[in-house]
Amino acid sequence: MFRVLFILFVIIPIIEIAVFMQVGNILGFWPTLSIVILTAWFGAKNVRQQGLSTMQSVQHKMHSGEVPSNEIITSFLLLVAGVLLITPGFITDALGLLLLVPSIRGALLSNVQQHMTTSPKGASFNQYDDNTDNGFSSANKNNNKTSKSVHQGTTIEGEFERKD
């Protein structure tokens, strides 16, 4: 984790500064600044448009009862693209623009899907009965009152004490 943070906050800014200096020497200050601002504007515009279409696809799949796993990953990749494009720099802009290309994003999507695990359809949370430790036993030991949960359908009843 330290390596990743070191690369993100030390190495990449140093590389970006060096590239800025080189491009600034070749093009000049104002054209360099204009390119950075235009790529941020162009990227934000495209991320917004593609994000809205992805959101419509999520809503359509959820309405039809399907799990929108591809769209969730695509949304995350678009978020990363937006952050990269808004961050000033030529390398981050190039990476952000690459993430806006649907074929590259699709390749990353299939790579991420290979590492995902899915749970079986219809899986539910574990329910505790009165004889098992439900995670609240230490709170009950500190309280002089006895507390018993009553399960009737989906309603959970119990006692509580307000401590302000």
Averaged confidence pLDDT in the chain: 78
How deeply is 89 buried, as exposed, middle or buried, from its count of CB atoms within 10 A (0-12, 13-18, 19+)?
buried
The count of structural domains within the chain is: 1
What are the pLDDT digits (tens) for 71-109?
888 888 988 998 898 888 899 999 998 998 989 988 988
Lowest pLDDT segment from 16-20, 36-40, 110-114: 110-114
- The confidence score (pLDDT) of residue 109 equals 86
Sign of CA dihedral 60, 64, 65, 67: negative
- The confidence score (pLDDT) of residue 6 equals 85
The end-to-end CA distance of the chain, in Å, is 39
- Does residue 97 form part of some domain? yes
- Does residue 9 form part of some domain? no
- Does residue 144 form part of some domain? no
Is the pTM of the predicted complex or chain greater than 0.85?
A: no
- 124-143: average pLDDT: 46
Integer Cα distance of 56 and 138 in angstroms: 46
- The confidence score (pLDDT) of residue 4 equals 86
Report which DSSP code applies to 7.
Answer: I
- Does residue 104 form part of some domain? yes
Q: What angle is formed at CA 24 by the lines to CA 27 and CA 90, rounded to 5 degrees?
A: 100
- Does residue 23 form part of some domain? no
**Strand intervals (E) in the chain:** 150-152, 155-157
Domain of residue 78, residue span:
36-114
- The confidence score (pLDDT) of residue 34 equals 93
- Does residue 145 form part of some domain? no
Confidence of residue 127 (pLDDT cuts 50, 70, 90): very low
- 43-65: average pLDDT: 88
What are the pLDDT digits (tens) for 8-19?
888 888 999 999
- Does residue 150 form part of some domain? no
- Does residue 146 form part of some domain? no
In percent, the amount of the chain with pLDDT more than 90 equals 19
